[in-house]
Amino acid sequence: MKAANTSIAKTMIVMGQEARGAARVLARLDSEQKTSALHAAANAIRQAAGDILQANAQDMQKARQNGLSASFLDRLKLDQARIEAMAAGVDRIAALDDPIGQSDQNWTRPNGLRIARVRTPIGVIGMIYESRPNVTADAGAICFKAGNAVILRGGADGFHSSFAIATAFRAGLQSAGVPANAVQLVPSTDRAAVGAILAGLEGTIDLLIPRGGKSLIARVQREARVPVLGHLEGLCHVYVHEHADADKARAIVLNAKMRRTGICGAAETLLVDQSCAVNLLPLIAADLRAAGCVLRGCERACAVFADMQMASEEDWGTEYLDAILSVRVVDGVDAAMAHIEKYGSAHTECIITENVAAAERFLAEVDSAIVLHNASTQYADGAEFGFGAEIGIATGKLHARGPVGAAQLTSYHYVVRGDGQIRP
């Protein structure tokens, strides 16, 4: 074991150096070169469909032997249609505007200096993610689009699939004349590789993007020696204000909880104003029950809708990612915001109301990455925001917050054009 760890540690250091070298080349590619390289990667994935399906069959067989859940197997499974969707996703990212070189701020100083803030790549990104093979292509393409090299470390259960996808992706890049090492996948399921990435690979990793369960997040918080763009849990709230429109409230709550229960933007807690709980909560609750949702309510919620379990203190802090919703009756917007501040994860929260003043207070004072008025929390998604694609939803307050697309994976520098100015 010791020998293996040493060997993977050495491999990782070399990967870091290769990534750094590739990043230097990437930073200087023009938009057309990046676009055509990504289209080449997409086509290489299509051409490698046979290899990818074979690798996926290996992963699926092992996952079944390990007794993994049906929903897990579904996320892991690939077929021709999913491979085509993955390749089409890479083509879509290829077609996005190039964020690099764009200038969002320009001004001229009284002394004639012209200053522009221009987007630049970040450099080398380390990405640790769950056993979802399609993320290999998505994350590789988004990082590449923004001129960054990426070192990918996917979940062990999808290793063969991810490796086959990454191999095709890299062959595509190479065929387009750009460094294959722009996208590297750790060629091992050894957990020591994660530790090496968290330690920064001797200073070669500029930014770490961890995605995964609580044990990964805890390990990142303990061990990471590099800047982290965190994607924590989405304990999203929907607050039905006393002046909510009943139809909107029913439709939004049902959609926010039940459209897809396993995504981070799914609602986990419903807050309902006392003054409308008696009339509105039974209707909302009946919709949810009819759709197969289990309800866990506070005392006041249970009092107005019988088919509800009592919620425990733990429920308010639980991201179910399942057809379960905690329900609390509150006394107005202040109480709702206090509940969100205490239990929320600063991901996405929604207020449903026809009262503009209440909505604006909620939107201004709730400090979550995304705050919505009269719309489903399931809109917390880069594609829905118009970013074309996303690598996740950042819940920290530094660098990027909310959906992280290619533009969010950039830095900037200031370009100053003068005509001989010297400082007095």
* 280: exposed, middle or buried (Cβ count in 10 Å: 0-12, 13-18, 19+): buried
Considering only 66, 292, 314, 420, the residue that binds a second copy (CB under 8 A) is: 420
Among 32, 74, 247, 314, binds a second copy (CB under 8 A): 247
Q: Return d(Cα 266, Cα 255) in angstroms, integer.
A: 9
Q: Give, as one character, the DSSP assignment of residue 403.
A: E
Shortest Cβ distance from residue 110 to a second copy (Å)? 9
Please pick, from the candidates 13, 289, 339, 385, the single residue that binds a second copy as defined by CB under 8 A: 385
Kindly tell me which residue out of 73, 156, 323, 412 binds a second copy, with binding defined by CB under 8 A: 412
Least distance between a second copy and beta carbon 351 (Å)? 11
Binding mask 255-274 for a second copy (x = CB under 8 A): xx--x---------------
Please, is 390 exposed, middle or buried when counting C-beta atoms within 10 Å of its C-beta (0-12, 13-18, 19+)? buried
| Max Cα–Cα distance, the chain, nearest Å | 78
- Interaction between residue 120 and a second copy (CB under 8 A): yes
Residue 10 burial (CB < 10 Å; 0-12/13-18/19+)? exposed
The answer to whether 402 contacts a second copy (rule: CB under 8 A) is yes
Q: Which run of H or E residues covers position 133?
A: helix 133-145
Distance in Å, CB of 288 to a second copy, minimum: 14
Q: In what order do the strands lie in the sheet with 324-330?
A: 309-310, 294-297, 324-330, 267-273, 236-240, 348-352
67 binds a second copy (CB under 8 A): no
Beta-carbon contacts of residue 307 (< 8 Å; ≥ 6 apart): 285, 289, 295
Site size toward a second copy, by CB under 8 A: 63
> How far is the C-alpha of 305 from the C-alpha of 360, rounded, in Å?
30
Which residues, other chains included, contact 75 with Cβ-Cβ below 8 Å and sequence gap of 6+? Answer: 131, 132
The window from 78-86, 181-189, 254-262, 296-304 that contacts a second copy (CB under 8 A) reads 254-262
Contact track, a second copy, 193-212, x by CB under 8 A: -------------xx-----
Question: Quick check: 363 binds a second copy (CB under 8 A)?
Answer: yes
17 binds a second copy (CB under 8 A): no
Stretch that binds a second copy, among 60-68, 91-99, 105-113, 151-159 (CB under 8 A): 105-113
Q: Which residues bind a second copy (CB under 8 A)?
A: 27-28, 101, 104, 107, 109, 113, 115, 120, 122-123, 206-207, 227-228, 245, 247-248, 251-252, 254-256, 259, 359, 363-365, 367-376, 378-379, 384-386, 396-399, 401-403, 411-423
